[in-house]
Amino acid sequence: MTAPVSDRQNKAARLTLGLLLLAGALVVIALLSLTTGARPIPPESVWQAITAYDASSTDHRIIWDLRLPRTIVGLLVGAALGLSGAVLQGATRNPLADPSILGINAGAALAVVLGVALFGMTQLSTYVWLAFIGAGLAMLIVYSVASLGREGATPIKLALAGAAITAVLQSVVSAILLTSPRTLDEVRFWQVGSLAGRSIDIVLQVSPFLVVGVLLALATARMLDGLSMGDDVARALGQRIRLSRGLAGLAAVVLAGGATAAAGPIAFVGLTVPHVARAITGPGYRWILPYSMLMAPILLLGSDILGRVISPPGEVQVGIVTAFVGAPFFIALVRRRKLAAL
């Protein structure tokens, strides 16, 4: 009688402990991100810079102007990417679903490319709004196309519509980049995905969206659990399928749109982190979502730190390092464990 209950309590205790450990690791990584770079700054100076700012100290200025915004952007973008990936995989029940499959990255890229090619924009802070609007529009189109027909936005229709819209948008992007070398030159650096050079303004611009997105995403956990049983079962249990998918989609687009706006398109994090989280927690989005939210920024910030020190005096953009750190780890995990199918 008591055995299953205590088993469940054990599991909950174990997973809570895991979450705390991840939060601790995240704090360590964030601190490392403040101290590491072309000019190493000891932790004491970091502490002084935050508590007793001295404008004449170069170290203090580096912390406030460069490292702190960069670290905050990394934390926010990482959490947003991890969560949006997990939510999208749950809502579409497809292990390959991620923001880039559903047109978000392509929409953001097209908006930025158009801004550069037509209006000569070169400021990162103007890209933010362009990328956000582009991502939102793309996802809206994908969702409306997939919702046509009697049974609404089924997983397979969402995936196909997303891939189709992505292809259309990418075609336009390629056509512009091929005919306008100036735009190609400007956009090739944005397209990689990077945390460098993001000022505190960008943090202030995107963080309201990201906070709303995080709350909305965490609130959909129960609905995603329902959807994971299949539409028919979920409907039989009284769940409103369209509403659930709509809310999950909204959360994903706000999160991924904000993340892409702040850091450029970073494809790998949202796709793979939820799989790692699922391998630890087992099914159940109540746990998968917070695990994804904490693990993704660890991957992103850790990669960013590595990118700063790996090829001095230059830096390697975080989008590149993430793929090179994350992919082998992900492949090893896929090989070693039997990952749960969705």
Partner 1 sequence: MTTALDITRVVQTRTRSADRRRNVTLALLVALLLVFALALYLGDYPVPVEGVIRSLLSPFTGLTDRGVDFIVLQVRLPRAILAVLSGASFALAGIIFQTLLRNPLASPDIIGIAHGASASAVFCIIILGWSGTAVSFGAFGGAVITALAIYLLAWRNGVTAYRVVLIGIGMAAMLAAVISYLFTRARLTEVQQAMAWLVGSLNASRPGDSIVLGGALLVLIPAMIALLRGLDAMELGDDTARSLGAKVEFTRLGLMLVAVGFAAFATAAVGPVGFVAFVSGPLARTMLNGAGRGFPQAALVGALVMLASDLIAQHLLPNTQLPVGVVTGAFGALFLLWLLMASGRSGRVN
Residues near partner 1 (CB under 8 A) = 94-96, 101, 145-146, 148-151, 154, 156-157, 159-161, 163-165, 167-168, 170-172, 174-175, 177-179, 181, 184-185, 188-189, 191-192, 267-268, 271-272, 275, 316-317, 319-320, 322-324, 326-328, 330-331, 334-335, 339, 341
Give me the count of residues in the chain.
342
Alpha helices in the chain (DSSP H): 2-35, 43-51, 58-62, 68-92, 104-119, 124-147, 155-179, 181-190, 200-219, 221-227, 231-236, 241-263, 268-281, 285-309, 318-336
Q: Which residues contact 299 (CB under 8 A, 6 or more apart)?
A: 78, 269, 273, 322, 325, 326
Task: Please state, in angstroms and rounded to a whole number, the distance separating the CA atoms of residues 320 and 189.
Answer: 11
CB of 16 to partner 1, least distance (A): 28
Q: Which long-range contacts (CB under 8 A, 24 or more apart) does 58-67 make?
A: 62/37, 63/34, 65/199, 66/37, 67/33, 67/34, 67/37, 67/41
Least distance from partner 1 to the Cβ atom of residue 18, Å? 22
Decide whether 125 or 171 has the Cβ nearer to partner 1. Answer: 171
The pair of three-digit structure tokens given for residue 49, joined into one six-digit string:
């810079």
Rg (CA), the chain: 21
What CA–CA distance (Å, rounded) separates 298 from 210?
Answer: 17
CB of 320 to partner 1, least distance (A): 4
Query: In whole angstroms, how close is the CB of 192 to partner 1 at the nearest point?
Result: 5
Q: How far is the CB of 51 from partner 1 (least distance, A)?
A: 38
Least distance in Å: CB of 37 to partner 1? 19
**Closer by beta carbon to partner 1, 197 or else 208:** 197
Measured from the CB atom, is 116 or 323 closer to partner 1? 323
Which CB sits closer to partner 1, 52 or 341? 341
We find the least distance from the C-beta atom of residue 201 to partner 1, in angstroms, to be 24
Closest distance to partner 1 from the beta carbon of 315 (Å): 10
Question: Two tokens at 111?
Answer: 């908006």
Shortest distance (Å) from residue 146 CB to partner 1? 8
Closest CA to 272 of 292, 289, 245: 292
Closer CB to partner 1, 161 or 221, in the complex? 161
> What is the C-alpha to C-alpha distance for residues 69 and 294, in angstroms, rounded to an integer?
19
In terms of CB distance, is 12 or 156 closer to partner 1?
156
Q: Which is nearer to partner 1, 7 or 185 (CB)?
A: 185
Distances (CA, A) of 32 to 26, 69, 251, 301: 10, 14, 30, 9
Q: Which is nearer to partner 1, 48 or 170 (CB)?
A: 170
Closest CA to 287 of 92, 13, 94, 88: 13
Q: Give dist(CA 300, CA 198) in Å, integer.
A: 15
Q: Among residues 181 and 238, whose Cβ is nearest to partner 1?
A: 181
